[in-house]
Amino acid sequence: MSWREFGDHPNSRPALRYRDKQLRKAAGTFRGSRIAVLKRLARDQKVLDVGCVSHNFHFASGGKGRWLHQHIVEAAAQCVGTDYDEAGVKEMKAAGFDVVHADITGDLGPLLERAPFDVVIAGEIIEHLASPQQLLASSRELLRPGGKLVITTPNPYAPRRVRAGALGVTWENADHVLYAFPSGMAEMADRTGLVLKRFGTVGWPARTSVTRNGVDSLRQLLGAAVARARGQRANPRRGRLNLPLPGHWLAPVDVILHRVRGRRGMLRETSVYILQRPVDE
């Protein structure tokens, strides 16, 4: 479907009602970390892991000294990795992983030979792509009917990210080119014949006591104010006062937001989107 079926302008009330209904239906919560969510979705499935090299083959992350691809391999019935990094792909093949050298936004020939897949996982990939729409279009082509594309990406509405943008603080990965947001993902899904089934956020901050978070927030703010009075400045720059606050600092208002909205709000560090190829194809 498309908003065009409900109005002749994207800001018309019928079009906005369509999108609002679409997002309300798909909004949800996810339990556990990003890795835990992706492992559950990959469990016993035939999976394509996009961007499997993860910048550096030797960089271990995601818990227990393993990076995302290894977690998916252990959970899936069959896992094929793909990446445009030819040197990284060769190294992974030498280590025994099933990896295909290909560009998900380019020639899909090598991947189509291994398709169809039950699940395509694109973990922290879409924000790096020059053609994010093509990620969805290519994934649709590689999925079986009813198959799912799972995208994780930095959440643009995470309070500390919003505050950083408002204050002109530069701390995001220099290779990122966009922020994906729910309405935009729903629109790209519509344009490529996918359905946005579910979205929400996971990750930092952990669910701890609001009192503890509040005390920690004020303690860090006081410590930063004392350090600033002694001449220490933030690096990178943090607004007009240049307070040397830690990157994970939650402002008092952020603590309240997390308390009020909890996991149901778009407040945590990482967004998760699940898009599905229609079953009746």
For 74-129, write each residue's pLDDT tens digit: 999 999 999 999 998 999 999 899 999 999 999 999 999 999 999 999 999 999 99
Is residue 59 scored above 70 in pLDDT?
no
pLDDT class of 146 with cuts at 50, 70, 90: very high
Q: Is residue 200 part of a domain?
A: yes
Nearest partner of 161 among 254, 65, 274, 64, judged by Cα: 254
Q: What is the pLDDT of residue 61?
A: 46
Is residue 136 scored above 90 in pLDDT?
yes
Q: Mark whether 58 and 148 lie in a shared domain.
A: yes
Whether the Cβ atoms of residue 80 and residue 99 lie closer than 8 Å to each other: yes
Amino acid at 138: S
Q: Is residue 236 part of a domain?
A: yes
Q: Is residue 90 part of a domain?
A: yes
pLDDT class of 142 with cuts at 50, 70, 90: very high
Q: What is the pLDDT of residue 64?
A: 46
More confident residue, 70 or 59: 70
pLDDT digits (tens, 9 = 90+) for 213-264: 788 888 888 888 888 888 888 766 665 567 888 766 778 877 777 677 655 6
Q: Is residue 281 part of a domain?
A: no
Q: Is residue 177 part of a domain?
A: yes
pLDDT digits (tens, 9 = 90+) for 17-35: 999 999 999 999 998 899 9
Q: Mark whether 202 and 245 lie in a shared domain.
A: no
Q: Mark whether 154 and 246 lie in a shared domain.
A: no
Burial class for 86, CB neighbours closer than 10 Å (0-12, 13-18, 19+): exposed
Average pLDDT of span 266-272: 91
CATH number at residue 33: 3.40.50.150
Q: Mark whether 66 and 186 lie in a shared domain.
A: yes
Q: Mark whether 94 and 177 lie in a shared domain.
A: yes
What is the Cβ-side half-sphere exposure of residue 18, based on CA atoms within 13 angstroms? Answer: 18
Q: Mark whether 200 and 90 lie in a shared domain.
A: yes
Q: Mark whether 101 and 216 lie in a shared domain.
A: no
Q: Mark whether 241 and 144 lie in a shared domain.
A: no
Q: Mark whether 186 and 114 lie in a shared domain.
A: yes
Q: What is the mean pLDDT of the chain?
A: 88
Total domain count for the chain?
A: 2
pLDDT class of 279 with cuts at 50, 70, 90: very high
More confident residue, 1 or 140: 140
Quote the domain boundaries for residue 233.
210-257
Q: Mark whether 178 and 219 lie in a shared domain.
A: no
Q: Mark whether 248 and 157 lie in a shared domain.
A: no
Q: Is residue 165 part of a domain?
A: yes
Cis amide prior to 116 (ω within 30 degrees): yes
Q: Is residue 60 part of a domain?
A: yes
Q: Mark whether 145 and 218 lie in a shared domain.
A: no
Q: Is residue 271 part of a domain?
A: yes
pLDDT class of 62 with cuts at 50, 70, 90: very low
19 to each of 15, 147, 187, how far by Cα in Å? 6, 23, 8
Nearest partner of 121 among 280, 279, 273, 277, judged by Cα: 273
